[in-house]
Amino acid sequence: MSRSNYDQKYLRLRRKHPLFYYQSFQYHFKGNEFFIDFHFSLGENIHFYPNHVIKLPTHLNWGNLDEKELDQLVFHLGMVELISYWKATCSPQVIVRPFQLNKAQILWWKKLYFEGLGEFFYLNTIETNLSDFMELKSESENVIRLFNTNMHDDHIMIPVGGGKDSIVSIEVLKKFHNSIIPMVVNSRGASKDTIINAGFQLEESILTKRSIDPQLIELNKQGYLNGHTPFSAMLAFLTLLTSRLMGIKYIALSNESSANESTVEGTNINHQYSKSYEFESDFREYYQKYLTNSSDYFSFLRPLSEIQIACLFSKFKHHHASFRSCNAGSKENIWCGKCSKCLFTYVLLSPFISPAKLESIFGKNLLNDLDLKPILKELRGLAETKPFECVGTVSEVELALTQAKDGFFKNVLLESIVKEDNNNKLQEAMKEWNDENSLPKKFEIVLKDFLERCWN
C-alpha cells in the first residue's frame, strides 16, 4: 500500500470515528484476586471492555489502600490501556469521563501517546505531529490529588518476563535483599521457570493477567489500523498500582541504557520508547507530583548496556536452558531461531558463552543461517532501520561480533567480521556506567560491586 493510500485510510477512519470515549472503570476484590474492568467506546456504537486480574500473594498484608487513591491508580492504568484501542481509528478527539485532567497532565499524556506510537505512525506511513494527532479532553469534576502513605522499605517488586535482563535483576538483588516479590504479566513457561530457578515460589509472587477485548481483534481483521503500542508504559502504571496494593516501596525494572537508542536513525522513533530513561524520568515526575510520593520506581539495570548484562547473565548458568526472549516463540516457550530477538541474543552472548553451549540453548547455530543475514545487517546498522524489536545498540552488536569466543569465526555470517584477539575493548565496555539513572544509592552500590566482581 502506498503512502497516499495509508494516509487516506487514516483520514477516512478519523472521519468515520471522530470521538473516542474513556467511559468508566470498575473493580472488586474476590479472595486474593483484584479484578478490573474498563469501558471504552467509539462513539455510541462500538464498545470495548478490556480487563486485568491481579492475583496477590497471601503471605503478605494487602488491601488497605484508600479507596480514592485506588480509584486514581486504576483510572491511570486505563489511560494507558486506552492507547491500544484508540490506535484502531486514531479518532481526532478523546473524551475522558472518570477524572479531570489539567493542562499539564493532558500534555504529559499526549506526549506518551505520540512518542509511544512513533513506530506505529512510521510503519503505517502516517504523517502527523504532536499538536494535531489528537485532542484530549476531560469531562469530569473529579480532581486527582496526591497521596502520601507509609510503605515497606524492606520489600522490592521485580517484574519478571523470562529474559536475561529480569534474571540478572532478580539474581543480583536477592544476594543483597531477602524480601523480593516477583511480578509477572500473562505468565508463560519462561517467566515461571525464572521465578522457580531463582529460588522463589509462584504462590509468593504477584501474577497478573491482561486480556484484550475480542472486538479490537475483529476490527483489525476488518482492516482497521494496527501496530506496536508502549507496553512498558502499561507495565509502569500496573506495577505502581500493584505495589501500592501491597504496600511495597521499591519497583525495580530491568531496562538498560541501550534502550535509549532510536530505532530509526536521525529520528525520535524508538521501539523501546517506554523502556527509555526519558519515559522513566517522565513517569517518576508524573506519579510523584499527582499520585504518590511514597513509591520508588526505577530501572535497576539502567546504568548498564546490553553487553554488560549479557556478561552478568552468563554467570547464572542455572537459567541458561530455560530463559527466553523470543516473542515469536513465546506461546510455545521456544526460541524460533528466525527473528531479530533470537539473533541479537545469540550475538550478545557469543563473547561469554561457548559456541557449543549457545547452539544447545537455541537449538541450532544461528550464525550459520544465511536467511538471517538481512537481520544481521539491521542489527549492525547497515540497513535503513534497526529491527523494530527490543534489541541493543549498533555499537555493542559490533563489539560482540569482534569479541566472540574462538569457534564462532567459522560461521558464514561472520565472514566479513574481523576478530580482535585482544579484549581491551570488551574490558572497557564492562567498566562503563551510565550516570543517567534513577537508582537509589544503596542499589547503585550493589550493582557496581557485582559488576566489578563479575568481570574480574
For residues 306 and 312, give the distance between their C-alpha atoms in angstroms, rounded to a whole number.
10
Split at pLDDT 50, 70, 90, the class of 175 is confident
Q: Which residues contact 2 (CB under 8 A, 6 or more apart)?
A: none
**What rounded mean pLDDT belongs to the chain?**
92
Q: What angle do CA 37, 43, 49 make, to 5 degrees?
A: 15
Which tens digit of pLDDT belongs to each residue from 77-123? 999 999 999 999 999 999 999 999 999 999 999 999 999 999 999 99
Which tens digit of pLDDT belongs to each residue from 399-427? 999 998 888 887 888 877 877 776 788 88
User: How far, CA to CA in Å, does 379 sit from each of 315, 384, 385?
Assistant: 25, 11, 9
The better pLDDT of the pair 63, 355 is held by 355
User: What predicted TM-score, i.e. pTM, was given to this entire model?
Assistant: 0.95
Give me the pLDDT at residue 166, please.
Answer: 97
Q: Which residues contact 3 (CB under 8 A, 6 or more apart)?
A: 125, 127
DSSP 26: E
